Amino acid sequence: MKATQLLHNLGQSIWLDNITRDMLDSGTLKRYIDEFSVTGLTSNPTIFDNAIKNSRLYDDDIRDRLAKGKSGEDLFFEVAMEDIRRAADLFRPVHDRTNGVDGWVSLEVSPLVAYDTAASLRMAKDLYGRVQRQNVYIKIPGTKEGLPAIEESIFAGVPINVTLLFSREHYLAAAEAFLRGIERRIQAGLNPLVPSVASLFVSRWDAAVSGKVPESLRNRLGIAIAMRSYKAMRELLSSPRWQRTYNFGARPQRLLWASTGTKDPSASDVLYVKSLASPFTVNTMPDATLKALADHGEVSTTLSPDGGNSEQVLADFGKAGVDIDALAARLQDEGAKAFSKSWSGLMDVIASKSAMLVGQA
């Protein structure tokens, strides 16, 4: 049995961290679903930037939208939603079979609104209404400004993937925003079943301290942060406040392990996948990591609910001069800026392709 199936059997959802039109047209995504137990998919501005920039498969769609007077950001979202809808339809059987626990596809708001609460909320509601698929998460960054938009989106009934979380404290803030939205729905007499996941980025921690800590601590920071956050999730989900919402029909927010591709070429290519096997969580993997797991990965144990030795490992990083809180803030800020840079590049690609296609008309 493939390790992907074993991981699925342990209770962790495997999602693909990629989407391209070629993947949809060629049947590659369908093969991942059938052969590698993939049950969902995430996207972000960098993924779409690479997909559209490196393919002509989007040209007809862009040409059609141009003829309808679309341009820039609005044109992009219309084109991207075609891919998102097709992927959501592929995962719809999983979504139905799991009563909405799984089978999700994620579409992100513009990273340019990551620090604008009102704009994030408006865009989240607009995108969810336009995509017209119930198994689509709208991704909102878990920045200080994004948290109120997350609460309001949940209250409005929009399923949310909270992205760009880097620490236990980031996760707890995102969980609190989600819970407030659910509690407000209960108070208002609304159905509290509004799904959400909280995406914690893992490997970027180790990339950030590479070469700056003792060899004994190499590639251990991201996993320790994840273990600490997993303990916090387990404690939250069993707390009286959260359990009260379950009795009204709410469903708990799941933790999602993001950025789980190994960046250190000397480390195992399935390091983060093997280390973060855990029930009622999601691991979203790039293609290479997914294939490596299916080919030679091994999965036998799951994360300890009590966080294992994470606090001792984090204390060792502190002794080595790593300020965890400061680094978490820096990583979140860098992540938002990286997505904004990709977004700018994506808008440049849309503009240049638009000009080329108009010239060919």
CA-atom Rg of the chain in angstroms: 20
**How far is 348 from 323, CA to CA, in rounded Å?**
37
Residue 270 φ then ψ, to 5°? -120, 25
Q: Are 186 and 157 in contact (CB under 8 A)?
A: no
**How far is 250 from 185, CA to CA, in rounded Å?**
10
Does residue 139 carry a catalytic annotation?
yes
3-state helix, strand, coil in the chain (%, to 5): 60, 10, 30
Q: Per the structure block, which two tokens stand in for 171?
A: 């996760």
The long-range contacts involving 54-63, CB below 8 angstroms and separated by at least 24 positions, are: 55/20, 55/21, 55/22, 57/21, 57/22, 57/25, 58/21, 58/353, 59/353, 59/357, 62/350, 62/353, 62/354, 62/357, 63/357, 63/361
Among 2, 68, 70, 139, the active-site one is: 139
Cα 96 vs. chain centroid, distance in angstroms? 21
Positive or negative: CA dihedral 306, 312, 313, 317: positive
Q: Which helix (H) or strand (E) holds 285?
A: strand 281-285
Write down the residue that tokens 């999965």 correspond to: 299
Q: Per the structure block, which two tokens stand in for 20?
A: 């391209």
Residue 307 φ then ψ, to 5°? 85, 0
Give me the active site residues, please: 139
